[in-house]
Amino acid sequence: MQRTTFSAQHCSVARTLDIIGEWWTLLILRDIFYGVRRFEPLVEQLGISRKVLTHRLKRLTEENILRKVPYQHNPCRYEYRLTASGLDLLPVLLVLMRWGDRWLSEDGQAPVEFVHADCGQVSTAKVVCAHCGGELTVRNLRPQPGPGAVLEEIESMRSASVNPDLFKKIRL
């Protein structure tokens, strides 16, 4: 099956999924966050085929989410480290984990917890407004075209919505 590409869409969710939305990719990144940086341990931990892992690591390196760093010479062997944009995917993993803990774990029993060293408590991730720290909900967020918007696309979304008022602040 030919993979659909979302990268031409003027939407940051679509563009992000175009890179990290392939099966396995976020689980590979999860393991690298846990310090599993080398090919053989990744194969073992993930139970992934070598072919698929090779392909995913290549893609993530090309997209500058991982970088290859030699850890041994003769023969040369590499490990994979997170770049700045790769490290910035931690919030994505934490938010996915929080949702799974809440909705998919038996009796809400989280398989893994995180102690937040700064406060010493078992922490869960919470998504808030970067400006005021308040909660972000469907009811208090109003989409509007950003500087990279294609207005026709947003107007099309508004027309298709059963709730066009959601977009009423759009300057079209």
> Of the candidates 54, 77, 164, 172, which one interacts with a copy of itself according to CB under 8 A?
164
**Does 101 contact a copy of itself by CB under 8 A?**
yes
Q: Find all residues with CB under 8 Å of 95, minimum gap 6, and list them.
A: 125, 127
* Contact between residue 129 and residue 136 where contact means Cβ atoms under 8 Å apart: yes
Q: At 72, phi and psi to the nearest 5?
A: -155, 145
Q: Which residues of 132-170 are buried (b: 16+ CB within 10 A; e: fewer)?
A: eeeeeeeeeeeeebeeeeeeeebeeebeeeeeeebbeeb
Q: At 78, phi and psi to the nearest 5?
A: -115, 155
**Does 37 contact a copy of itself by CB under 8 A?**
yes
Residue 137: CB minimum distance to a copy of itself, A: 7
Q: Can you tell me the distance from the alpha carbon of 18 to that of 7, in angstroms, rounded to the nearest whole number? A: 6
Residue 54: CB minimum distance to a copy of itself, A: 16
Smallest CA-to-CA distance from 17 within 35, 3, 30, 31 is with 3
> Of the candidates 74, 75, 163, 171, which one interacts with a copy of itself according to CB under 8 A?
163
> Of the candidates 38, 53, 61, 155, which one interacts with a copy of itself according to CB under 8 A?
38
> Of the candidates 2, 73, 74, 146, which one interacts with a copy of itself according to CB under 8 A?
146
**Does 72 contact a copy of itself by CB under 8 A?**
no
Of residues 4 and 74, the one with the C-beta less far from a copy of itself: 4
**Does 70 contact a copy of itself by CB under 8 A?**
no
**Does 152 contact a copy of itself by CB under 8 A?**
no
- Residue given tokens 């005021």 in the structure block: 132
Please tell me what DSSP assigns to residue 66.
Answer: E
> Of the candidates 67, 78, 123, 155, which one interacts with a copy of itself according to CB under 8 A?
123
**Site map 102..121 versus a copy of itself, x via CB under 8 A:** xxxxxx-xxxxxxxxxxx-x
Residue 29: CB minimum distance to a copy of itself, A: 9
